[in-house]
C-alpha cells in the first residue's frame, strides 16, 4: 500500500519481476479491494500470488512512533514483515515510509545476534560500475564498532550482488590521512587496519568524490552523513539534468544537436536512472527487507524486487551472520585500544 502510487505500481511491478523469475511466489499485503482488480490484468501473477488483507496502512508522513502505535500487528507494512518472521516470505519489499519501515522491522524481526544497529545499504552507480554505500540513514550517530560491522555487512552484500571474492572497502572521511576526521571514523579505521578480515580488503579512508569515481566496492559512513551525501548526489544529478534540458532547448542548433545525440543521452539516463538501482537493503536484521523509492514506477519497483530476489537466493542473512561471527573472533585477538 506504500509509496506514492500504492498497488497500482506494486502489482504491475510484481508482474514484471515474476516474468524475470518465474519460480517466484508473491504475498500481496493490503486492501484486497484495491489489489484484486489489478491482478485481473496480470493472469500469471494472479496464479503466483496470494493476498493478506488489511484495511490499515502506514501513511507516508507518519512518524515512526505513530506508525508503531497505530500499525503494529495490523498494518500492511507490519504484516509483510511478519510474513518474513514466520517464514511465509523470504523477503519483504515496501515502497512505504522509510522511518516507519525501519522502526517496524527492528521491532518485528529484531537485529541479528552481535549487531546493535541495522543499516540501510544502497547500490550507487559510479565510473567503474557500481558500489555498495551504507548507511544511508538508519544508524544516525554510529560508533566505531557499528562502522566496522557495516564494513563487514556491506562487503558481504557486495560479494553477493557484484559477485566479488574480496570487495575493497573504504571509510568515508574528510581526508585520506589517518589523523583526519571524527574520532569514531578514525577508531573504526584502526580496527579495520589491524583486524585481518578475510572477506574484505580494507583500503583506508575515502573522500566524497571517491563515491562517484568508484575507488572502492563498499563505502561505509555513519547514517547522517550517508543520507546527506546520497541526497546531495541526487540533487546534483537533477541540477545538471535541468541545466542540460534548458541549454539544449535554447537555440535551434542545440535542439537539432540534441536530437542527433539523443541515443547518447538515453545511455546516460540509464546509467544514472534510479530505476536501475532502486532498492535500499536493510542489513543486520533477522530477515531481508528491501525499501523501494516512494516515487518508484512499476519497472523501478520490479528492480527492488530483483534486488531482494538476488539477496535471498544467495542467503545474505546467513552469510552476514557468519561474517560477523568471524569478525568478532578476529577482533578479540586485537590488542586493547590505545588510550587517546
Name the site residues for a copy of itself (rule: CB under 8 A). 63, 99, 125-127, 137, 140-141, 172, 174-175, 177, 179, 181-182, 207-213, 221, 223-225, 227-240, 242-244, 247-248, 250-251, 253-254, 256-265, 267-268, 271-272
- The single-letter DSSP state of residue 145 is H
CB of 52 to a copy of itself, least distance (A): 30
CB of 12 to a copy of itself, least distance (A): 27
Bridge partners of residue 280, in order along the sequence:
291
CB of 250 to a copy of itself, least distance (A): 6
For a copy of itself, the closer CB: 162 or 265: 265
- Least Cα distance to 92 among 284, 298, 313, 309 occurs for 309
Strands 201-206 and 280-283, sheet pairing: unpaired
For a copy of itself, the closer CB: 127 or 336: 127
For a copy of itself, the closer CB: 224 or 330: 224
Distance CA 71, CA 65 (A): 10
For a copy of itself, the closer CB: 32 or 184: 184
Is residue 206 within 8 A of residue 170, CB to CB? The reply is: yes
For a copy of itself, the closer CB: 105 or 206: 206
- Least Cα distance to 200 among 243, 169, 240 occurs for 169
With cell 493478506, the residue in question is 52
CB of 159 to a copy of itself, least distance (A): 24
Q: What is the largest CA-CA distance in the chain?
A: 68
CB of 188 to a copy of itself, least distance (A): 14
With cell 546520497, the residue in question is 230
CB of 107 to a copy of itself, least distance (A): 18
Length of the chain: 340
For 335, the 3-state DSSP assignment is: coil
For a copy of itself, the closer CB: 99 or 204: 99
HSE of 209, CA atoms in CB hemisphere, 13 A: 2
Amino acid at each position: 500500500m506504500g509509496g506514492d502510487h500504492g498497488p497500482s505500481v506494486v502489482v504491475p511491478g510484481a508482474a514484471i519481476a515474476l516474468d524475470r523469475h518465474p519460480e517466484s511466489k508473491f504475498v500481496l499485503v493490503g486492501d484486497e479491494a484495491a489489489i484484486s482488480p489489478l491482478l485481473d490484468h496480470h493472469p500469471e501473477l494472479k496464479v503466483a500470488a496470494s493476498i493478506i488483507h488489511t484495511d490499515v496502512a502506514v501513511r507516508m508522513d507518519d512518524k515512526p512512533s505513530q506508525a508503531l502505535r497505530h500499525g503494529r500487528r495490523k498494518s500492511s507494512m507490519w504484516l509483510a514483515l511478519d510474513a518474513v518472521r514466520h517464514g511465509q516470505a523470504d523477503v519483504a519489499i515496501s515502497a512505504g515510509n522509510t522511518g516507519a519501515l525501519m522502526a517496524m522491522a527492528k521491532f518485528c524481526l529484531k537485529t541479528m545476534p552481535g549487531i546493535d544497529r541495522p543499516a540501510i545499504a544502497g547500490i550507487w552507480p559510479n565510473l567503474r560500475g557500481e558500489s555498495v554505500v551504507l548507511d544511508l540513514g538508519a544508524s544516525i550517530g554510529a560508533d566505531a564498532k557499528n562502522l566496522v560491522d557495516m564494513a563487514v555487512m556491506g562487503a558481504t552484500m557486495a560479494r553477493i550482488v557484484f559477485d566479488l571474492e574480496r570487495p575493497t572497502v573504504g571509510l568515508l572521511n574528510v581526508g585520506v590521512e589517518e589523523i583526519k576526521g571524527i574520532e569514531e571514523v578514525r577508531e573504526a579505521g584502526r580496527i579495520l587496519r589491524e583486524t585481518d578480515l578475510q572477506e574484505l580488503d580494507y583500503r583506508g579512508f575515502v573522500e566524497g568524490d571517491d563515491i562517484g569515481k568508484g575507488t572502492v566496492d563498499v563505502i561505509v559512513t555513519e547514517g547522517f552523513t550517508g543520507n546527506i551525501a546520497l541526497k546531495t548526489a541526487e540533487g546534483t544529478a537533477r541540477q545538471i539534468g535541468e541545466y542540460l534540458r534548458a541549454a539544449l532547448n535554447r537555440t535551434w542548433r542545440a535542439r537539432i544537436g540534441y536530437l542527433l545525440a539523443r541515443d547518447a543521452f538515453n545511455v546516460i539516463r540509464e546509467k544514472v536512472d534510479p530505476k536501475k538501482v532502486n532498492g535500499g537493503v536493510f542489513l543486520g536484521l533477522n530477515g531481508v527487507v528491501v525499501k523501494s523509492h516512494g516515487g518508484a514506477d512499476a519497472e523501478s519497483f520490479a528492480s527492488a524486487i530483483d534486488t531482494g530476489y538476488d539477496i535471498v537466493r544467495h542467503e545474505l542473512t546467513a552469510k552476514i551472520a557468519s561474517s560477523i561471527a568471524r569478525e568478532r573472533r578476529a577482533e578479540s585477538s586485537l590488542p586493547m585500544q590505545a588510550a587517546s
